[in-house]
Amino acid sequence: MQQMIISKTPFRISFFGGGTDYPDYYRVYGGRTLSAAIDKYCYISLRRLPPFFDHKYRVVYSRVELVNEIDEIVHPSVRETIRFSGIAEGLEATHFGDLPAGTGLGSSSSFTVGLLNALYAYQGKYVSKRQLANEAIYIEQERIRENVGSQDQTAAAYGGFNIIEFSEKDITVVPCIVPEATRILLSSNLVMIYTGISRIASEIVSEQIKTLDKKLDELEQMKGLVDTAIKLLTHGAADDFGRLLHETWMLKRGLSNRITNPEIDMLYESAIECGALGGKLLGAGGGGFLLFYVPEPAKPCFYERFKKLVCVPVNFDNDGTRIIYYTDDVVC
């Protein structure tokens, strides 16, 4: 039997509390984030590699790997996730995504969650979103040893608009109940612009982790903004939510001198001049996507100002990672 499986896993936007989801911080102080999965996705196709080739693994992403041993796989998530799965037979894994990697949308964690989901489906197993999130965190933090937090894997696995709470013993996901009219307004007024700068988040985060003990006040304030943001959303104050993004951006940029640069600052200032109420750089910083809250009257100026850049509208995903294709076909 020849299986073909395709998983679909959302990217995410982190609104508030980012930085408090790193284990070095939340295992001591507790962490809290407000994030949402969006309708931009990572797709992983997986199948058993037929025994006609002189290689055992074929891995396709921005490069193509043809190898015979798991240890020879260069892509760290593919290597360690397959190893974690315990599957011994040859596999072909192919990745394609709606948006580029290294842009602050949690794409690497979406990849790990999606691959893990596909590998379980390959074995005929269904596992919970909680298990997928926790195992993806384990793979990235303990097996790959990357400097990553714990919100991206959780957001990718669960989907939705969530408050995610981190403690030494557990990670808890609480859906944020947003009135439908407010959710629609948010989706209409949130827009991402691509800076054109891709970066390796782990390198930037490494510096932040080294100075955590010097940034406790800033992180506590960033965590506190989660509660403020939730109150605004539940009361339908979407514009004030947009203004609050500016506050978290000002705090975030103080965590490291690698989070922003003159080019990013110029883009941000231009957006505010056009009438954006607030915004922030997504992810670890250093490049990727800038998120802005742009009310209707400001949109003509905003889109004219950034017409040479890629602007991406924001819509939310409610389902999290899922298997969208599964087949068993007899190979003749």
> H helices of the chain, where?
23-29, 76-85, 107-122, 129-138, 151-158, 180-189, 201-210, 216-234, 238-252, 262-273, 299-305
Instruction: Tell me which residue of 235, 277, 288, 331 sits closest to 14, measured CA to CA.
Output: 288
d(CA 6, CA 122): 10
- Least confident window among 8-12, 203-207, 236-240: 203-207
* Predicted structure pTM score: 0.94
Domain at 180-313: CATH architecture: 2-Layer Sandwich (3.30)
Provide the pLDDT for residue 198: 67
301 exposure class (CB count in 10 Å sphere: 0-12, 13-18, 19+) = middle
- Nearest 5 degrees, angle CA 105-CA 106-CA 108? 130
| pLDDT value of position 215 | 86
Tell me the C-alpha to C-alpha distance, in Å, between residue 172 and each of 57, 164, 166, 228, 290: 36, 6, 7, 19, 27
Most distant CA pair in the chain, distance: 65
Q: State the number of CA atoms in the 13 A half-sphere of 54 facing the CB.
A: 0
The CA-atom distances, in angstroms, between 106 and each of 9, 54, 140 are: 11, 35, 12
- pLDDT of 213 reads 78
The answer for 236, left when phi > 0, alpha when psi is -120 to 50, beta otherwise, is left
Residue in this structure with the two tokens 């072909």, named with its chain if needed: 92
Fold match, 2-176+317-329 / 180-313: no
Domain boundaries, the chain: 2-176+317-329, 180-313
Higher pLDDT residue, 19 or 6? 6
CATH class in words for 2-176+317-329: alpha beta
pLDDT of 111 above 50: yes
pLDDT in tens, 175-232: 999 999 999 999 999 999 998 876 565 566 666 667 777 889 999 999 999 999 999 9
* pLDDT at residue 132 tops 80: yes
Average pLDDT over residues 245-250: 96
Report DSSP letters for 175-221, one per residue: E----HHHHHHHHHHEEEEE-S----HHHHHHHHHHTGGG-HHHHHH
Count of beta carbons in the 10 Å neighbourhood of residue 294: 23
The mean pLDDT value for 47-54 works out to 89
CA distances from 253 to 217, 260, 274 (A): 14, 6, 21
Neighbours of 29 (CB within 10 A): 16
CA gyration radius, the chain: 20
Mean of the per-residue pLDDT values of the chain: 93
Report d(CA 75, CA 200) in Å as an integer. 14
Q: Taking each helix axis as running N to C, give the angle between helix 76-85 and helix 107-122, from 0 to 180 degrees, rounded to the nearest 10.
A: 30
Q: Evaluate if residue 329 carries a pLDDT over 80.
A: no
Rounded mean pLDDT of 63-68?
A: 97
